[in-house]
Amino acid sequence: MRGPHNIWRLIRTLATLERTGAIGVVLEAFRAPPRLRFVARILGWPFKPLGLRGDPALPPATRALTALGPAYIKFGQILSTRPDVVGDELSLQLKYLQDKLPPFPIEVAKKMIQAELDVPVDQVFREFSEPVAAASIAQVHKAWLIEDGREVAVKVLRPGIERAFRKDIDAFYFAAQAIEFISPSSRRLRPLEVIRHFEGVVMGELDFRLESSAAAEFAANTEGDAGFQVPRPIWFLSGRSVMTLDWAEGISLNDNDLIDAAGHDRKVLGARVLQLFLNHALRDGYFHADMHQGNLKVAANGNIIAYDFGIMGRIDEYTRRVYAEILFGFIRKDYRRVAEVHFEAGYVPADRDIDEFARALRAVGEPIFGMDASRISMARLLAYLFEVTERFGMETRTELILLQRTMVVVEGVARGLDPHINIWEVAKPIVEGYITKNIGPRALLRDLGKTARVLARFGPRLPQLVEAALIAQADTPKTVQAKRNWWPVWTGLTGAAMLAAGLWLGQFL
């Protein structure tokens, strides 16, 4: 599928941006250099008639992205949260992509529900509304159950969406291969790995059984979080293309006027969004990875409600500690330690100068501290950060893509609520709390205790493993014995020693 036919798709993308007038808007928003603007217009102009027309009633960028398809809409949703990067005007236009896309007919939705649940809609729901929200993947209907009269939200997958996504992703693969061929230096950014990661995330988002599972796990993890709530899925009314959840009413976080009219403190909400994300990422290692304003609302009681659990992020405990130490180093302005953590984790090649890297990190962090957020140009900061990664040969870490992307989106949401927010000050108590509990002597003892519990499960087998290894060693010809790896023996002996030490330490934990 990833053949030359995708050249046509890429040409049509450029032609659509030109035909809708979006190319100039986008280049201006990203402050593209004059040479790049000239090349883009020269390449786009001859193919302009081949571009998709889109909806003339929409602004240029929104018109182009909706015409190009769901994968492009996803990209626009991310940009809509960052007015500091793309400008207030373009950000406002792109917010249309969050939950106001054209819906598909209610009759089609009902047929899909009946096919998925194997029961007619009117035998399950007392009432079933027209679409109340429509996004790139699905649309939502409000309904009332016949069984107990409960209000629920019914999410229905867009017809043909999987095929449309696969076409877009196929073209993205082709573009990534072309970029790697034309610019070998771009390979450190691993564009193919990035697209592969994006494909995995999106394909998972198209199966509502997985989203129902994610919603249930997320709700359980966050049950005790003050000021936060997650609608729980109703399993017997959910399947691959249909998902039913408890209804949760609220004001979208992209409507500041309504939030103010309802008497909510936007500064408090902005700080809470950021702190909740950090808590979920560091404490649980499981976080909502699509936290744009369209997926967040504020309830009448001031709680933040999260929706849409198709994209969730998961990071292991080691990565959480690395991430926390990096954030903590920035908060304390200990750039040397931030640099050391990058080297220890293998994020920066070992042959690079750690002091030079620390100096470059200082140039990233210092402009943020003590400065009003409205005076910080995140676009310039990100541009410089990109230069730093290139200079020090840092490769893209695909396991961190969702974490980094969500951090950018969440910061954009927080700044949309409070333009003067200082992300480091807000993050400080969460990161310090995590560091105190998870890094240091107490954490070391806890890790040893966990190791001991794991080894304890294999304790009865350790003597047999050592004996089998020794017998195998004795039966092996001497010429082969010299090359034989003794790791099974040492593993057994070391394991036994660690088990004994762990059991002794366990009494203090």
Q: Where are the domains of the chain?
A: 5-99, 102-135+137-247, 249-439, 441-506
Q: What is the pLDDT of residue 402?
A: 74
Query: How far, in Å, are 81, 96, 416 from residue 92 at the CA level?
Result: 9, 8, 11
Structure tokens at 498: 């660690």
Q: Which of these is catalytic: 290, 351, 418, 447?
A: 290
What pLDDT score does 151 carry?
Answer: 96
Q: How far apart are CA 29 and CA 24, in angstroms?
A: 8
Name the residue with tokens 């954009």: 412
Q: Rounded to whole angstroms, how far apart are CA atoms 135 and 152?
A: 18
Write the DSSP symbol of residue 231: P
| Confidence at residue 327, expressed as pLDDT on a 0 to 100 scale | 81
d(C-alpha 374, C-alpha 424), whole Å: 14
Residue 87: its pLDDT value, please?
72
User: For a pLDDT cut of 90, what percent of the chain falls above it?
Assistant: 30
**Total Cβ atoms within 10 A of residue 309:** 27
118 catalytic per annotation: no
In whole angstroms, give the CA distance from residue 270 to residue 263.
Answer: 15
pLDDT tens profile 297-346: 999 999 999 999 988 989 888 888 888 888 888 888 898 998 998 898 88
Q: Taking each helix axis from N to C terminus, what angle separates 60-68 and 5-19, rounded to the nearest 10 degrees?
A: 160
pLDDT (0 to 100) of residue 32: 65
Supply φ then ψ for residue 373, to 5 degrees.
Answer: -55, -30
What pLDDT is attached to residue 3? Answer: 57
CB of 315 closer than 8 Å to CB of 323: yes
Question: How confident is the model at residue 490, as a pLDDT?
Answer: 44
Which residue is listed with tokens 């049509």?
12
Which residues of the chain register pLDDT less than 50? Answer: 379, 479-484, 486-509
